[in-house]
Structure formats: C-alpha cells, structure tokens
Structure 1
C-alpha cells in the first residue's frame, strides 16, 4: 500500500476587536494565530475580524458576520475555521451547524500542536491529560460529529481510534493520567534533589524567542531549535561552567497569550524547573512588534506558578532582526514604539528597572560574552552564599577567561 502525504488544510481565521483594542493589535493577535495554524500545517486563506463589546453567546461573532464567513467558506471550499478565543460547547455546536465544516478554537489548536511536538512519554502523558480535560465538557458535540471526523488539525485525539462515549470512562482516564503524572513528578523531584546544591538557572520567555538557540550557545549542546512555536516541550537541563563557576541551566517550554489553563496544570512537573530555579533568564524577541505585551504575558504566567519574585535577567534577543520606522523630521507628532531605535530602547524603561538587561543576537553570537559576564555576576552572589568556603573560585578574574 502506498502512503500519501496528508493534504494541507485550507483554513480561515476569525478574531474579535474589543473596545479596549485597536485594530493593529487585533491583527497582531491574528498574525500569531496564523503562525500557530501554520505550525499545525494549515494554509490560511483569509482573516475575518468584527468589532464587538463581548462575544456573541450563541455564535461568537454576529449572525451577519457568520453568514459572510459561511459564504466565503463555500466559495473557497475551506476545510477549517479557527477562532482566536476558546469557544463554549454551545458556540461550537451552533457554528458547526451553520458552517458545516470543522471548527476549532485557539485552545484546540494549541493542544494539537502540543500533541505533534510531544516526543517523550512524559510530554505525551501531559498533553493527553490536557486533551481529555478539554474534551470532557464537549462530549455531546464530539459524539454527534464523531463519524465524520477524518483526522487532521485539531482532531489528533489522545491516542485512540474512537473516543469512548461514556463520560465515566473519560473521567477514569483523567484520574489514571493524573496518577501517572504524580509518579513522574516524584521521579523528577528526585532527579532535581540528586543534582545537589548547584545554582539553578532557567530560561523562560514567550514561545519562539530563541531560548533553545541560547541554550545551545551557553551549554555547547544540541537542543532542538526551530523557527516554529513550541519547538521545546520537555525541559532540558545541562551543567554549564562560566570561567570556573558551575551551575545548572534549564530550557523550558515557551509561554503564549491565552495559554490553556489545563496545559499549565498538566505541565506542572515541567514548570517545576522554573519554580525551583534560583535565577530566571527572561528571553525576549526585541524584533517582535508586540514584545512588551509578550513580556507581560510571561510575567503573569510566572506569577500564576508562584515564580514572579525570583531574580531576573532580561535578555533581549534577535537584535540582528530589529527594525524601526525612521520618523520624518517635519513630522511633529509624538514618537510611537515603531519609531524607537535600538539605542533608544536600551535607554528606556528596560535599562532603568533595576534588573540586569542585555541585548544580544543568539544566531549571530553578538554580545554573548557580555551576557556570560552578567550571568557570572548574578550566579556568583548565590554561589558564594551557598558555598562560603569556595570563595577561592572567584580569585580568577573575568578577563582571564577571555
């Protein structure tokens, strides 16, 4: 039997523009949704937006907009419609009934990408748990349309040919998966305990900001790095030595706007590397137009997992890709973020928040030595407190390494 490659799904995206948003921000959100869909293997035909105070309780968008989307899907023969918010079971059912095509929401799409990216038994178990928790309140909708589900994006189930129609069985599966993760959590905790008292540093940040590339540079390892969302699911820990100062460096899963709560819960043991870190290296993509909001998203997620008060080093990556819009001298209007040069960003709030900040390019290896110096100084303080009899280590000056 000859296997054929799966056809790329044709999809349309739908997002709302709320009162507290401008249209540009809403389009940035849809651009991110497009990147998610592309990562999942979809080809985007069009993006639809609508200005609403709150989502329509029945169909998310208004009846007129849904009719417009329906007509477009029929003409273009689109396979899938993807919404940039989590849809309620009622909204899913009503939209599917009217559009007669596959309907996904942001949460379902992210779960699908995690299912694709999961390689180890640990990651697969975590994703499977999150999938079942997402499916549980949507059983009626899933069972009604089960026969015509043929797989593809968002339909990559938790490892079975047919999801059982018995809610009790689903709940039993969730309970068993939670027990499995408890055992894995204990194993991971033992591994962390066996590492001793070495200072722990965790790379954190929005997804696709270059954490794994930076990990490879600092640890001289070969962690998988790719220009796709959620390239890293399993935490990788490496022992790193700068000058003569050893520490443990962990590369963690990237955060994202509206990261599904079930995923945060199921990835608890992975996020424990962040909780138990002594220093967080917050990697930021300075070339992304919405990097300030990405910083806020990461900081809010860190607070959610009780890690918001740890020592932080801000690493603004991808300076090689940074661009700005030069302002005309005759233009008397106030500068916007797009007009700021890199030097102006360096002298903005980022340099004045009393936290170490460094600007680098991991791919071009720019300012990596400066980053190592900042890391060295931060870790040295903790190391000298933890190992007071090893102060002789610091007799070596930084210049001697270089």
Structure 2
C-alpha cells in the first residue's frame, strides 16, 4: 500500500510542472448561474446575495485566471429556480452545449456548487469537463499551498470533496486524474476509483496533520514565553493584505493582483513607532461561498486569527462590492467564533490610491464621523501601495494595545544607562525629556506580564494610568 501511494504521489509531482501549460491550452467557458433577486431561496442551492451579477462573474473569471486557464467566454445566467438534475433548465443546457461545440470548449467552470449528479449530467450533455466553484477553489489552493501543513490540508479537503465523485463517475470522465487537480491525462491507479483506499489516504493525512498541529502548538507555547501582541490581517481575497503586510514589516511576501496569491500563513516580528514589538500575521483571503470543508481544514492555519490580540480587517474600498465582501468576511469570522463588533477589530480601508476625489472625500468624512462617535473605532483609510495612512494605522494599533497597559513616569540619572537600555528593550518609551544636568524624565508604557519586573526594578516609578 505504501509503495502504491508513494509512486502515485511521485507521479502527481511530475505532472505538476507542465500543469500550467495544460491549463493555458484549455479553452474554458465560465458560466455564472445566479438566482434572480426575486427568486425564492432553494434548498438545493445558494440564496440570492446582494453583490452584483457582473462583479460575481468577474470574480469567477479571476478564479479561473488564478490557475492560468484560457477563458474564451464568460456568460451570466439568471435562474428562477435550480433543477435537481442539471442545475440549469433544459433550454439553457442545450444553448451552452451548442456554444461549447462551436468554440471547442474543453472545460466549463460553473460558478456554483454542483452535486455529483448535476456535475455528471452536465458533463454528459456538454461533452466537456465540468468543474464547480468548490472544485476550482480547491484547485487554486492545491497550486498555492507550499508548506507541508497547507499541502496536507488541501489534499484532505479535496479527497473529501471528490470521494463520491471519483467512485460514482470515474468511468465516464475522460480527463479526471487522482489527487487534487482536474487537468491532465487519464486516471493512473485504482486509488482514485477505490473508496476504501481514498479513506486510507485521508486517515494518513489526518495523522500527519495531528503531528503538524502538535508542532504548531509547541511553537505557540514558545512564543507565549516571550509574549508579544499578535496582530493578524484578515479580509477578502485580493484586498491587499500581503502588500500591507510587506509595507508594515519590510518583508517580501508574495503580493500579486490575483485571487488567493497568499495561502500559507506568514508571521513576522515588527516594531511599532514607540518601540513595542508585535507579531504581524498574514493569512489566507476569504471569499464568498468558501467551501465548508476548507474552512474546517484551515482552522489550524487560522489559529493566529482566533488567538490574535488585534485583527486588521483589510477591505478593498475601491471595489464595487466592498460592502458585500465585508459581509462575507464577517460570515467566515463568525464561523470561527469571532464577532465583527469585537473590540479587537480595526477596519482598514485599503487601496485609497484607486479612489476618485469624490469617493475619497466621502470615505474620509465617514471615517471622521465614526471617530467622533466611537473613540478609537473609526476605520483607517490607507494605501498599502503608496504608504498613505500607514502612520495613522500604526498609531491606532498602538492605541488599541495601550488599552491593556499601564503608563508610568520614570526619572533616571545620567549614570543609569543600563536602566535606560532595559526600558527600551522591555517597555514602550512614550516620551523622553532631558534636564540640563543630564537627568532623564520618561513616560513609559508597560505590558501587564512585564509590570512586576518593571516595578521591582523601578520602585520609584509613578503610575500615570491603569490598564482599562
């Protein structure tokens, strides 16, 4: 069994390199079958949402482009109801089948969630490979995952998704292959067609993930011994989180104008203006209709989000569906047990450089209005690309951290250089004033866990404020 799995994995790796070439040569049709706004919600499919049809279709095209598919056409369809057998009505199916034949389409991307029966029937009617939104997102995640944990989580999610599809529809699919990925040659081994063997592979992955999770737990315990506040970036995919992460940390994380450019989490230590060290964590972007299996699979990856002291909710305010995207992020955070009204969330309105003057003025006024109504809760308008607003953002982060910290006044003589060094290493120096004789008057902010050591060393410190 082990030899079979190992050889299968080796073949998958060998096939990964030319996969981009295969994708680029695959003529793809993107179909957006969306329920009309007046249609009643169906138990067989998604309810209508507030975002525009055009924006949803453009996002689906963007998902296809993220794995370099050759999208030759994208068509929206307004549905009154969802058909259990083919999702679409008979007339629509025949119309699309004609288009597929005329344009030599090899792959149809359906921007919806298809049941195995619907996928099988559509492939039979279209004479082409069909993949739904869930399968497409899984494919992207399979391409993007680079860490061992990310790769294992994606493969597990994909096997769970494909379990019934592989067993029930293997014989009629001409281009289905094993593992994750829908492009490539014919099937290779019995593992793709054998439910028992797929389950065995999933069990092995679960054991490996348990080991990785334990290792991550040890890392978190180690970090807890040298505690720094965790600031996690969350937001809709392509909102500019990685560009903001790079701007704040001077790192070189991959930042592209592409959906799901970042998949594996990245964390860096960085200093705020007053010297406080924080751990900044970049995370995978959220998206509407994110497969439940992926949310569960990446729960460990999102542990930094769950445990973060501060969440930066990064929004692309230049996007036409910014509000709807924010709702989708709120839905995913809610599934993780995080309320969008939580005191630790700072809303970051990103991509200010793309706004016209009128919209910029409107958002600036909204931000000022919120700031007057709710102290420290106003959104921060920034451009992670140009650096606009970043100083205001770091100041907001410091202010949010300060709520849990006390401040003190400390007086040091000119000979107490070691004590001054200790303060800069272990506390935030908010203000520093030197008298003519060299005596220093300092305003210091101290984290709760370091306060006992601070008071032991600086017994004469005067408390200015207590943690709120």
What do residues 71-118 of structure 1 show as CA deviations (whole Å, max 9, x unaligned)? 011011011111111100110111011111010100010011111111
Moved more, 166-175 or 245-254: 166-175
1:209, distance to aligned residue in structure 2 (A): 0.9
For 1:276 and 1:24, how far apart are their aligned partners in 2?
31
Secondary structure of the 1:47 match is strand
Corresponding residue for residue 28 of structure 2: 11
1:312 alignment partner, one of 340, 345, 350 = 345
1:367, distance to aligned residue in structure 2 (A): 1.5
Corresponding residue for residue 170 of structure 2: 143
Secondary structure of the 2:33 match is strand
1:183, distance to aligned residue in structure 2 (A): 1.5
Corresponding residue for residue 204 of structure 1: 234
Corresponding residue for residue 171 of structure 1: 199
For 1:393 and 1:150, how far apart are their aligned partners in 2?
56
For 2:276 and 2:82, how far apart are their aligned partners in 1?
54
For 2:195 and 2:343, how far apart are their aligned partners in 1?
42
- TM-score, normalised to structure 2, is 0.75
1:33 alignment partner, one of 60, 64, 76 = 60
For 1:56 and 1:149, how far apart are their aligned partners in 2?
25
- What are the equivalent positions in structure 2 for 1:163-312 lying under 5 Å apart? 163-196=191-224, 197-242=227-272, 243-308=274-339, 309=342, 311-312=344-345
1:356, distance to aligned residue in structure 2 (A): 3.2
- What are the equivalent positions in structure 2 for 1:125-140 lying under 5 Å apart? 125-140=152-167
For 2:208 and 2:178, how far apart are their aligned partners in 1?
27
| Alignment RMSD | 2.8
1:60 alignment partner, one of 87, 91, 94 = 87
Change (3 A) 1:146 1:83: closer
Secondary structure of the 1:215 match is helix
Q: Tell whether the 8 Å contact from 2:266 to 2:283 is kept in structure 1 after alignment.
A: yes
For 2:203 and 2:388, how far apart are their aligned partners in 1?
48
2:401 alignment partner, one of 376, 379, 399 = 379
Q: Tell whether the 8 Å contact from 1:50 to 1:61 is kept in structure 2 after alignment.
A: no
Change (3 A) 1:351 1:311: farther
Q: Which has the higher contact order (CA 8 A, sep 6+)?
A: 1
For 1:375 and 1:262, how far apart are their aligned partners in 2?
33
1:51, distance to aligned residue in structure 2 (A): 2.3
For 1:79 and 1:153, how far apart are their aligned partners in 2?
19
Change (3 A) 1:206 1:376: same
1:49, distance to aligned residue in structure 2 (A): 2.6
Larger radius of gyration: 2
Q: Tell whether the 8 Å contact from 2:129 to 2:175 is kept in structure 1 after alignment.
A: no
- TM-score, normalised to structure 1, is 0.86
Change (3 A) 1:173 1:156: farther
Q: Tell whether the 8 Å contact from 2:177 to 2:183 is kept in structure 1 after alignment.
A: no
For 1:397 and 1:19, how far apart are their aligned partners in 2?
59
1:390, distance to aligned residue in structure 2 (A): 7.5
For 2:175 and 2:183, how far apart are their aligned partners in 1?
14
Change (3 A) 1:107 1:323: farther
Change (3 A) 1:318 1:292: same
Moved more, 83-92 or 179-188: 179-188
Secondary structure of the 2:81 match is coil
Secondary structure of the 2:27 match is strand
Q: Which runs of 5+ in 2 are unaligned?
A: 1-16, 38-47, 408-421, 433-441, 443-468
2:379 alignment partner, one of 357, 360, 384 = 357
1:347, distance to aligned residue in structure 2 (A): 2.9
Corresponding residue for residue 463 of structure 2: none
Q: Which runs of 5+ in 1 are unaligned?
A: 325-339
What is the aligned length?
377
1:342 alignment partner, one of 354, 360, 364 = 360
